[in-house]
Amino acid sequence: MQINLEILGFAVVEDAEKCTALNEKVIVSDMMLRRRLTRNARISLYLADQLGEMNTPIVIGNAYGEVAETFDILKAIASHETLSPTAFQNSVHNTPASYLSIVGQNKGYVTTVSDLHETSEALLKVGALKSLSAGSMVLILTDAIDFPHIDELNRCGITRKECGVALHVRHTEQPTTLFLSGKQFEGYSPSVWKMLEIAQGCQLGSIIGVEI
């Protein structure tokens, strides 16, 4: 079964270390809330804002989760220190989805999927299925793995430690116009390859086919 998606908008942000100029002070006016944001949440909010679609159905893909917060928790445990309630709260995969719901006052469909290197594929499949009933929606993939000692642990050749890709899509019966070659992006996590290839190769109105 193939579900076709028309691309209504797209956005990409990435950096070797931390993405800058994510416009947090404008997007999140509440300072206390802004201070609690994880890197994945900041990237997700920025991408949704770039598309102008903060209050639509959203599916977020995330391969590695909130590793910086998890590192802080493990460090505290190893040092016999008190765990940070904020780090504990922010340590789950659906953290970006929660902040998108709060900031965008989104009371609709917001969910998270994760499938390590196949996260792009999982994100597209869930989004395609949901598009059959949801109308237009936003698919966001983020990975942020810049935390202390990452260079000692990183054996995957990932040099772009933060990356986010977003697509604004809707279901269409029109034929596919964008065909992927399975391109690999050196230095980027394999989890983002497919979404990144779509964003780099598409134009507004391009149609991508998703096999279910």
Architecture field, domain 2-211: 3-Layer(aba) Sandwich (3.40)
**Averaged pLDDT, 89-116:** 90
So what's the pLDDT on residue 102?
92
User: Is 28:49 a contact under the CB 8 Å cutoff?
Assistant: no
Count of residues for the chain?
212
The backbone region for 12, taken as left when phi is positive above 0, alpha when psi lies in -120 to 50, beta otherwise, is beta
| pLDDT at residue 83, as a whole number | 85
User: Coil, strand or helix: which one is 180?
Assistant: coil
With 90 as the cut, is the pLDDT of residue 71 above it? no
pLDDT single digits (tens) 8-62: 999 999 998 889 889 999 999 999 999 999 999 999 999 999 999 888 999 999 9
Question: Over the chain, what is the mean pLDDT?
Answer: 92
- Supply the pLDDT for residue 155: 63
Please report where in the chains the tokens 């869930």 appear, as a residue: 126
Neighbour tally for 208: CB within 10 Å:
24
List the chain domain ranges. Answer: 2-211
Model confidence over 170-207: pLDDT tens digits? 999 999 999 999 999 999 999 999 999 999 999 999 99
pTM beyond 0.85: yes
